[in-house]
């Protein structure tokens, strides 16, 4: 990466490299913007941003993946408008930093990522958080403020009304551990994974065009559910506040589609709590069953799955050594996550690949998930793991 940086910018004087990971969400899908619970793990797949001071008064950004970038006098950065391409993520972060009182210094940035884009493994948050650290270039910011600032960049500049999960786990990821996040208090606790299991993500290699618009529609439907439920259950400020029993006693006041959406969120929050307890108890069978229940709920009630994701889940459940599987991330393509015995991994990889190829004529990428540390500076070349 250092050599590539030199090729693009001519010099590596003052170069520092920052890393921010992607994530796999084990359980707790579409609960974050309802202020509920999620249980993701940061991945070894990450975005790396190299930065060095520029002497041309500009902010220069280059992406290795896209083989292109842009350059702007730093005084113009605050006035840029979104361009509806990848560069909106770093530019949105630069905007938010300026608003928060952090100036943007003239700099050369080089971006390399191993998080597959559009895969539901949160390449956007990895790009936002690594860019933020590169812009800060050693200036201190509270980790929670960093996560929130990157979320604001995505909501306000990119225009995607996302929750806090992806940016949060990219900042607060832990080695060897998933993390349960309370999306209201913004506190978290580690969820060490019991011995005898591993997780893999399997990539459908598709991202259906519907993903962005359907996400916004679900956010709206959940807000509508809260309005309706509040009439019956005063004090309800988000779906997080409703228990499964309360919900079922009043669900009939909601329009049927809205009730289905809310049922997913309310039951999913409950599943996260049960999953964390099952993990602590080492109950691998129950952890697996909860993943499958989560998938069914996303498939039938929340309706954010798709043919390719459903196929990968069904196929995984037919392979020896698998405890459970579900779609992960926003949906409409991207990845599934499968919980399985480590010794079953090689056969799983072979069988799921063959089954998917037969069905869709595409080769799915299979990533073994190693829970990894959250974002930070890369201080030795050994930690640059590609």
Q: End-to-end distance of the chain based on CA atoms, in angstroms?
A: 10
Compute the distance between CA of residue 303 and CA of residue 308 in angstroms, rounded to an integer.
14
Pick 18 or 215: Cβ nearer ligand GLA: 215
Which of 166, 241, 269, 301 does the annotation list as catalytic?
166
Least Å distance, CB 253 to ligand GLA, is: 26
Q: Can you give the length of the chain in residues?
A: 386
Pick 269 or 308: Cβ nearer ligand GLA: 269
Pick 330 or 374: Cβ nearer ligand GLA: 330
18, 49 in Cβ contact below 8 A?
yes
Q: What values do phi and psi take at 86, rounded to 5?
A: -55, -30
Pick 108 or 238: Cβ nearer ligand GLA: 238
108-145 in b/e burial notation, b at 16+ Cβ within 10 A?
Answer: bbbbbbbbbebbbbbbbbbbbbbbbbbbbeeeebeeee
Report helix, strand or coil for 122: coil
Residues contributing to the site for ligand GLA (CB under 6 A): 29-30, 32-33, 122, 162-163, 165-166, 329-330
Least Å distance, CB 163 to ligand GLA, is: 3
- Beta-bridged to residue 47, according to DSSP, are 20, 113
Report helix, strand or coil for 94: helix
Question: Among 13, 123, 1, which residue's Cα sits nearest to residue 50?
Answer: 1
Least Å distance, CB 223 to ligand GLA, is: 14
Question: Residue 222: which region, alpha, beta or left (left: phi > 0; alpha: psi -120 to 50)?
Answer: alpha
Least Å distance, CB 58 to ligand GLA, is: 30
CA dist 161 → 116, 210, 216 (Å): 21, 15, 7
Report helix, strand or coil for 332: coil
Least Å distance, CB 158 to ligand GLA, is: 10
Pick 96 or 166: Cβ nearer ligand GLA: 166
**Is 166 one of the catalytic residues?**
yes
Pick 169 or 355: Cβ nearer ligand GLA: 169
Least Å distance, CB 204 to ligand GLA, is: 15
Instruction: Please list the active-site residues.
Output: 166
């Amino acid at each position: 990466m250092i050599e590539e940086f030199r090729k693009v910018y001519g010099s590596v004087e003052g170069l520092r490299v920052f890393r921010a990971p992607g994530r796999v969400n084990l359980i707790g899908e579409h609960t974050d913007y309802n202020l509920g619970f999620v249980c993701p793990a940061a991945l070894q797949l990450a975005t790396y941003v190299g930065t060095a001071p520029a002497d041309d008064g500009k902010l220069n950004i280059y992406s290795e993946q896209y083989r292109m970038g842009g350059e702007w006098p730093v005084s113009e950065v605050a006035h840029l408008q979104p361009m509806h391409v990848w560069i909106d993520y770093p530019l949105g972060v630069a905007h938010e930093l300026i608003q928060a009182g952090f100036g943007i210094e003239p700099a050369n940035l080089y971006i390399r990522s191993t998080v597959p884009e559009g895969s539901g493994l949160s390449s956007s948050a990895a790009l936002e958080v690594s860019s933020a650290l590169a812009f800060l270039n050693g200036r201190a910011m509270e980790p929670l403020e960093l996560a929130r600032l990157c979320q604001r960049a995505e909501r306000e500049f990119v225009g995607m009304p996302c929750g806090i999960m992806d940016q949060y786990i990219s900042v607060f990821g832990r080695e060897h551990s998933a993390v349960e996040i309370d999306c209201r208090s913004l506190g978290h606790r580690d969820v060490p994974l019991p011995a005898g299991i591993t997780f893999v993500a399997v990539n459908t290699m598709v991202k259906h065009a519907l993903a962005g618009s359907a996400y916004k529609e679900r956010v709206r439907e959940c807000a509508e559910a809260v309005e309706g439920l509040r009439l019956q259950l005063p004090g309800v400020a988000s779906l997080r506040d409703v228990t499964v029993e309360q919900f079922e006693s009043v669900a009939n006041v909601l329009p049927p589609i809205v009730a289905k959406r809310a049922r997913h969120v309310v039951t999913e929050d409950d599943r996260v709590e049960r999953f964390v307890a099952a993990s602590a108890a080492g109950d691998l069978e129950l952890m697996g069953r909860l993943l499958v229940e989560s998938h069914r709920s996303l498939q039938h009630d929340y309706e954010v799955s798709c043919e390719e994701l459903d196929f990968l889940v069904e196929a995984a459940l037919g392979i020896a050594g698998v405890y459970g599987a579900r779609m992960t991330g926003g949906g409409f393509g991207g990845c599934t996550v499968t919980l399985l015995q480590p010794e079953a991994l090689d056969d799983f990889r072979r069988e799921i690949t063959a089954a998917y190829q037969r069905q869709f004529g595409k080769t799915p990428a299979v990533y073994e998930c190693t829970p990894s540390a959250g974002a930070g500076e890369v201080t030795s070349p050994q930690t640059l793991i590609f």
